[in-house]
Each structure stands twice: as C-alpha cells, then as structure tokens.
Structure 1
Amino acid sequence: MALSQDDVAQIADYARIALTPSELEQMTTYMNEAVDLLEPITHYDLDGVDPTFHPIGDLSNVMGADVVDDSVRALPIGVALKNAPSVHDRYFRVPSILGDSEEDF
C-alpha cells in the first residue's frame, strides 16, 4: 500500500515538520521507497510469535544500588586528586559554566 501525499502531509504535520509542495513530493517518494524496502518482512511466518513491546522485556531496573562496597578497594582521594589542576577540599575544582568571573573557578 503506497502512501499518498496527503498521508505524508499528515505525518509531517503530526511531527511538526513544515514541507513545501516540492519537499512533500520528494518525501512521499522517499517514504514509499522506505516502505517498499520493508516488504520482504511480510513474507515471514510469524504464527505463534508474540509481539515484543519493549526490547528488554520484563527487566525493570538495570542499575545497581548506589552504595559504597567496603570490600572493594577504592582509589584513595589523595591519589585521585594528585594530578588535578585545581582542588577544593576533597573535590575536583572546575570552572563554573554559569558564571564568567575568575571567582567562579
């Protein structure tokens, strides 16, 4: 089923993309070519295959707990800050991205 220029115009409107008549014609051709490239998929036997709605399935949280594990040897703060160009107490000191004075560094 080919997309009409009206179909493409509605898609562009939904995506908030303004198209000139020339661009609409080009986009209609392009989108129909893209749809044609997907045509071989319709020949797969998909009987009994459940649709996948999310690539990770039932996985709800992939992040680990944000806690310090004392059994793992961490890099000492002094070693971490040793080559830093500027430090303040136990933190890296970096230029402010919101200010523009030397005091912001």
Structure 2
Amino acid sequence: MSNHTIAVPVTDLDAATAFYTTAWGVEPHTVTSYYVGFNLDGQEIGLNPHGAAQGMTGTVVYWMTDDLTGKVAEAEAAGGTVVFPVTEVGGGTSLAIVTDPAGNQVGFITQG
C-alpha cells in the first residue's frame, strides 16, 4: 500500500469514471458518490467530485499521517496556509489541504 494518494478533482463523476476506467485499463475498486478509487500498480488514485468545493485547483497528492491535526499545524508553522481544514469526508477518512509558501497544494489524509 502506498503512503500517499493522488486525488483528481472532477465535475462529472460518472463521465470521469468512464474516462479513467478506459484510460487506465482497470476497474475502480471503490465507487461512492464522494470518491471513486483506482489502484494502479499499488498507487491509489481517486476521483473527487467535491474537489472544487474543497479548494482543489488541480490534482493533489495526499500524504498519509496518523496525526492529521498535528501535521497540518506543523505545515502551517513551516509557512503553509490551510486551504481546506481537517474534515471527515466519509468512510472513516479525514483530510486537509494546505499550500506551501509558493501556493502549491499539498494534502494530508488519515483513514480511521
């Protein structure tokens, strides 16, 4: 299992699921109204229909952490800015998005 997840913001989850299923040549392992997940050679890549509402401006890599709140606080102390605060998004998963000092987005995620 990967220590990070790549999330792609999409506006039409059904259309995006059909496209990426064809593009990547694999069926999704998880299909919900809030996330469609694919496993590509051990790399988790998910489609997020709520990405724009969460502040995503493009594809975001979410790094796994056991202490989500602590990791976000550390990123802020290092010059980051919270774009999407720690939020439970479904299925026991919580995440947050911060930007680095240059405005690049980085995500942090924990799964309960």
TM over 0.5: no
Higher helix share: 1
The TM-score bracket by the shorter chain reads under 0.3
Q: Which has the higher contact order (CA 8 A, sep 6+)?
A: 2
Higher strand share: 2
Q: Who wins on radius of gyration, i.e. which is larger? A: 1
TM-score (norm 1): 0.24
